[in-house]
């Protein structure tokens, strides 16, 4: 979003990145499942879920993390960890920023005709689970044993809200194929298992 696709394209065009990825794919996959750079980046499937991540999922997560003043305030809690801000700056940024983002999220909901942001996000994830993961039959939406750029894009969008209620709703409380895929992606991208923590007071329906 906002130039990120151009940055990704530039990174994937570098010889070091291409050699690193190809070496990793050769080590991880069977002969018939070895990923290629063309398949990873430009296949129809990869582009489909890349667009889904940018146009659908990211847009729906925004009103879910800033749909209420409380959620928006939580989303700005990261400023507490910015050492270059004074205590007063942290308070003012969190308060004013959360208010501005709350109103911005309301405009997004109006533009996309969203009346229930949680339901809309659930339906978007239902689509990914059904069409992308074939109801859990596929390990990755790439369709092979190695994730492609579509997998990475969807994972990146979901990981970006880690620690917020929207992440809890989308991954931990949802469970099933999407959570299983997310856990596999976390190991593949981050090199370690995901640590799922559900906030106190949250209940599973």
pLDDT tens for each residue of 142-166: 988 889 999 999 999 999 888 888 8
Contact 69, 98 (CB under 8 A): yes
- pLDDT for residue 1: 52
Q: Rounded to 5 degrees, what angle do the CA atoms 197, 183, 167 make?
A: 45
Per-residue pLDDT at 199 exceeds 70: no
Tokens of 185: 């992606």
Per-residue pLDDT at 14 exceeds 70: yes
What is the rounded CA–CA span in Å between residue 36 and residue 43? 10
Largest Cα separation within the chain, whole Å, is 58
- pLDDT for residue 3: 52
Reported as a single tens digit per residue, the pLDDT across 73-111 is 887 787 887 888 888 888 888 888 888 878 888 888 888
Report how far apart, in Å, the C-alpha atoms of 14 and of each of 9, 10, 73, 154 are. Answer: 9, 7, 39, 23
Per-residue pLDDT at 12 exceeds 50: yes
What is the rounded CA–CA span in Å between residue 85 and residue 9? 34
Tokens 């689970």 correspond to 129
Quote the pTM value.
0.78
168 or 26: which leads in pLDDT: 168
Question: Which among 195, 64, 164, 176 has a CA at the least distance from the CA of 128?
Answer: 176
């Amino acid at each position: 979003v906002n130039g990120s696709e151009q940055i990704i394209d530039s990174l994937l065009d570098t010889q070091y990145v291409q050699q690193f990825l190809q070496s990793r794919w050769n080590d991880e996959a069977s002969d018939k499942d070895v990923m290629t750079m063309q398949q990873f980046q430009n296949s129809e499937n990869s582009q489909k879920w890349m667009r889904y991540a940018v146009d659908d999922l990211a847009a729906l997560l925004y009103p879910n993390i800033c749909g209420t003043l409380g959620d928006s305030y939580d989303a700005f809690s990261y400023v507490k960890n910015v050492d270059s801000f004074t205590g007063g700056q942290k308070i003012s940024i969190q308060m004013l920023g959360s208010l501005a983002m709350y109103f911005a999220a309301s405009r997004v909901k109006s533009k996309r005709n969203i009346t229930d942001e949680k339901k809309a996000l659930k339906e978007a994830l239902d689509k990914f689970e059904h069409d992308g993961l074939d109801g859990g039959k596929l390990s990755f939406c790439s369709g092979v044993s190695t994730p492609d750029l579509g997998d990475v894009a969807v994972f990146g969008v979901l990981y970006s809200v880690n620690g917020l209620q929207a992440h809890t709703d989308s991954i931990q409380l949802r469970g099933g194929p999407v959570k299983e895929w997310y856990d596999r992606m976390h190991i593949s991208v981050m090199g370690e298992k995901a640590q799922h923590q559900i906030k106190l007071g949250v209940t599973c329906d």
